Amino acid sequence: MNHLEIQGLTKRFDLSSPPAVHDVSFQLKTGEILGLLGPSGCGKTTTLRMIAGFTPPDGGEIFLEGASVASLPPERRRIGFVFQDYALFPNKTVLDNVIFALHRKKRPLRKNRARDLLALVGLSREEHRFPHELSGGQQQRVALARTLAAEPELILLDEPFSNLDAALRESTRADVRSLLKCAEMSAILVTHDQEEALSFCDTLGVMNAGTLEQTGTPEEIYLNPRTAFVAQFLGRANLLRGTATGSTARTDLGEIAIHPATDGSVLLSLRPEHLTLLPLTEANSPDDPPRITSREFRGHDLTYRVKFRNREFLVHTDYTCDYPPGSAVALAPRRPGVVLQEPGLCFRGL
């Protein structure tokens, strides 16, 4: 059985504008971390708030362990919510912030349980400090300990790392992920940061304008985006038009392999690292060949911008594939182009 199942969740705040969330369905297994990813305003927080019970849906169902939670108020859903600003009590110590969330436990047990939770998040030595005496990452971990104290069945995290600087964000993210995994806790993370989604989550749901465009593992979505929006939101993508016959298509880059096989006019996605640069030969030399407009050394790879037929291709290669800016080159795919579904088309960068 799925731990959480969402069916057709819909919310319209205002009749004169489109729904903030439209017909969203997904499932979450026990212990799984799902990332809801999408640009600002696409409906991520509204989805989370409906699951938590803070915002009533206009349609759809939410099942936790197979039972509908529709009629339950937030405090009876056993769902923990970690807010972006942590929402700690500023006038309570770290220990008291956690003890406050242990009101279900018998009074004599509360202090020890709070100390266990602070040990779990690595903050035993900070128990007498006040929130303003902690770093952002430490405050984040107190917020998590406090949420775990209520023994929720599911944790919802709304952009919990966005107030941390880049280095702290990475380490806090890794700590929180291993804490959730140790506790076998199911969680949903809302983020608009693709790197965060890829590194923190077991599965992802990419949202666009209130709808869920694609769900799957990070690898599935990255390697097989279903739409141009998903291809461009999760990573970088070169979009290319072509005419398909089975598993090949005629494109500006010549005849290239595609998948899945299809026939007719297609829009294809090629990741920058799935293209490479080759020296020009007589066989691959058109009248006006692709030309490198910029070359950036980025440590682990080289990033080229290549102009060809009035458009720009982005290419990531390893540093052995080295050409100076201005060189004429051949552009060659190293993997099949992914055939995209056309609705949601957005020609960014074309």
For the bound state, the minimum distance from the C-beta of residue 38 to ligand ATP, rounded and expressed in Å, comes to 6
For the bound state, the minimum distance from the C-beta of residue 207 to ligand ATP, rounded and expressed in Å, comes to 7
Whether the bond between 131 and the residue before it is cis, its omega within 30 degrees of 0, is no
97 near ligand ATP (CB under 6 A): no
Can you give 142-156 as a three-state secondary structure string?
A: HHHHHHHHCCCCEEE
Nearer to ligand ATP, 40 or 320 (CB): 40
Measure the CA–CA gap between 114 and 175, rounded to whole angstroms.
19
| Chain centre distance of CA 256 | 30
38 near ligand ATP (CB under 6 A): yes
Nearer to ligand ATP, 26 or 313 (CB): 26
Q: Rule CB under 6 A: choose which of 46, 139, 140, 269 binds ligand ATP.
A: 46
Q: Rule CB under 6 A: choose which of 1, 15, 16, 40 binds ligand ATP.
A: 40
User: Which three-class secondary structure state does DSSP give residue 279?
Assistant: coil
Q: Rule CB under 6 A: choose which of 42, 142, 157, 270 binds ligand ATP.
A: 42
Residue 29 CB: number of other CB atoms within 10 A?
A: 13
Token pair in block for residue 141 = 């971990």
Q: Is the dihedral of CA 190, 194, 196, 202 positive or negative?
A: positive
For the bound state, the minimum distance from the C-beta of residue 14 to ligand ATP, rounded and expressed in Å, comes to 6
Q: Which of residues 183-222 bind ligand ATP (CB under 6 A)?
A: 192
50 near ligand ATP (CB under 6 A): no
Nearer to ligand ATP, 16 or 71 (CB): 16
Kindly state the number of chain residues that form the binding site for ligand ATP, as judged by CB under 6 A: 12
Candidates 12-20, 100-108, 122-130, 162-170: pick the segment binding ligand ATP (CB under 6 A): 12-20
Residue 143 near residue 87 (C-beta atoms within 8 A) = yes
Any idea what the Cα angle at residue 160 is, between residues 159 and 162, rounded to 5°? 70
For the bound state, the minimum distance from the C-beta of residue 20 to ligand ATP, rounded and expressed in Å, comes to 3
Nearer to ligand ATP, 12 or 335 (CB): 12
- Percentage helix, strand, coil, to 5, in the chain? 25, 35, 40
Token pair in block for residue 205 = 């749901």
232 near ligand ATP (CB under 6 A): no
Candidates 37-45, 67-75, 230-238, 276-284: pick the segment binding ligand ATP (CB under 6 A): 37-45
Q: Where do we find the tokens 């919802």?
A: 156
22 near ligand ATP (CB under 6 A): no
Q: Rule CB under 6 A: choose which of 4, 37, 43, 196 binds ligand ATP.
A: 43
In 3D space, the residue among 236, 238, 246 whose CA is nearest the CA of residue 313 turns out to be 238
In 3D space, the residue among 132, 113, 112, 134 whose CA is nearest the CA of residue 123 turns out to be 134
Nearer to ligand ATP, 40 or 310 (CB): 40
Measure the CA–CA gap between 117 and 278, rounded to whole angstroms.
56
Nearer to ligand ATP, 57 or 336 (CB): 57
Strand partners, 254: 251
Q: Rule CB under 6 A: choose which of 22, 44, 173, 271 binds ligand ATP.
A: 44
Binding site for ligand ATP (CB under 6 A): 13-14, 20, 38, 40-46, 192
